[in-house]
């Protein structure tokens, strides 16, 4: 008895084509049905939870519109804060969670960026090496933010001690550019129920 092999390519091609048809329908359903939802959540994750990789995300500032067109990754360093009077020169990070504040000064993500013409709120621990010495600052002292998209000069016009729950001390507004630094107050043992706040307005036009 001989065995003869017969090629039935048509059936094979039909099955493969049918599989690809199913996959195409699947892709269409995913794309039109779930794409928006999936992209929304991946964008949230990318905005909040991705730290700057070695190939840094390019930070871009639109000079004409006075607006950031590409913001730093949350948790990434994007500049330094310098205050000559108290020999302060610290890294500035985007975000202000506990981990970030242990590395340097944190920029509250709900506030504006320097140059955008609104409130810029920065926080730091009141420990040596952080914001301990801002308590020595007074009116007319200068603050410089040296960022990877430009340099911004500020001059202090007020310092205040406020309650930790006083949100009116940290207004988020876009009428004028205001730099607000704060740290826990007073120094010493225990939980701090107050905040020492420094207010500064932008001076001059620096490059951005």
Report, as residue numbers or ranges, the catalytic residues: 125, 184
Residues in a beta bridge with 161? 196
- Among candidate residues 178, 56, 75, the one with its CA nearest the CA of residue 117: 178
Site for another protein in 100-139 (CB under 8 A): 102, 125-128
At closest approach, how far in Å is the CB of 83 from another protein? 19
Within its chain, how far is the Cα of 48 from the centroid?
8
User: Is 191 an interacting residue with respect to another protein (CB under 8 A)?
Assistant: yes
At closest approach, how far in Å is the CB of 33 from another protein? 12
User: Is 36 an interacting residue with respect to another protein (CB under 8 A)?
Assistant: no
CA distance 99 to 78: 16
State which of residues 28, 161, 167, 187 lies at the interface with another protein (CB under 8 A). 187
At closest approach, how far in Å is the CB of 51 from another protein? 4
| Residue 123 near residue 183 (C-beta atoms within 8 A) | yes
Please tell me what DSSP assigns to residue 58. P
At closest approach, how far in Å is the CB of 58 from another protein? 14
Scanning 7-15, 60-68, 84-92, 165-173 for contacts with another protein by CB under 8 A, the matching segment is 7-15
Scanning 71-79, 111-119, 140-148, 152-160 for contacts with another protein by CB under 8 A, the matching segment is 71-79
At closest approach, how far in Å is the CB of 187 from another protein? 6
CA distance 68 to 77: 16
In the complex with another protein, the residue whose CB is nearer, 98 or 207, is 98
Structure tokens at 126: 């009141």
Residues in the chain: 208
CA distance 66 to 62: 6
Beta strands in 99-174 (DSSP E): 105-107, 119-123, 142-147, 150-163
Strands 105-107 vs 88-94: parallel, antiparallel or unpaired: parallel
| Residue 207 near residue 148 (C-beta atoms within 8 A) | no
State which of residues 32, 36, 45, 87 lies at the interface with another protein (CB under 8 A). 45
State which of residues 123, 181, 184, 200 lies at the interface with another protein (CB under 8 A). 184
State which of residues 28, 38, 161, 203 lies at the interface with another protein (CB under 8 A). 38
Task: Report the interface residues with another protein, using CB under 8 A.
Answer: 1-9, 11-12, 14-16, 18-20, 22-23, 25-27, 30, 38-39, 42, 45-46, 49-53, 73-75, 98-99, 102, 125-128, 184, 187-192
């Amino acid at each position: 008895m001989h065995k003869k092999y017969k090629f039935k390519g048509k059936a094979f091609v039909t099955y493969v084509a049918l599989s690809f048809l199913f996959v195409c329908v699947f892709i269409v359903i995913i794309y039109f049905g779930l794409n928006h939802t999936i992209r929304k959540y991946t964008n949230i994750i990318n905005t909040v939870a991705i730290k700057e990789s070695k190939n840094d995300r390019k930070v871009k500032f639109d000079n004409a519109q006075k607006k950031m067109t590409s913001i730093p990754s949350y948790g990434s360093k994007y500049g330094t804060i310098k205050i000559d009077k108290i020999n302060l020169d610290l890294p500035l990070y985007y975000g202000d969670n506990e981990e970030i504040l242990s590395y340097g000064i944190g920029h509250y993500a709900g506030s504006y960026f320097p140059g955008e013409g609104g409130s810029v709120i920065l926080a730091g621990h009141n420990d040596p090496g952080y914001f301990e010495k801002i308590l020595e600052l007074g009116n007319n002292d200068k603050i410089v933010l040296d960022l990877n998209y430009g340099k911004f000069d500020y001059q202090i016009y007020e310092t205040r001690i406020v309650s930790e729950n006083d949100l009116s001390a940290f207004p988020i507004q876009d009428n004028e550019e205001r730099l607000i630094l704060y740290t826990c107050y007073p120094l010493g043992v225990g939980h701090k129920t107050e905040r020492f706040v420094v207010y500064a307005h932008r001076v001059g036009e620096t490059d951005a």
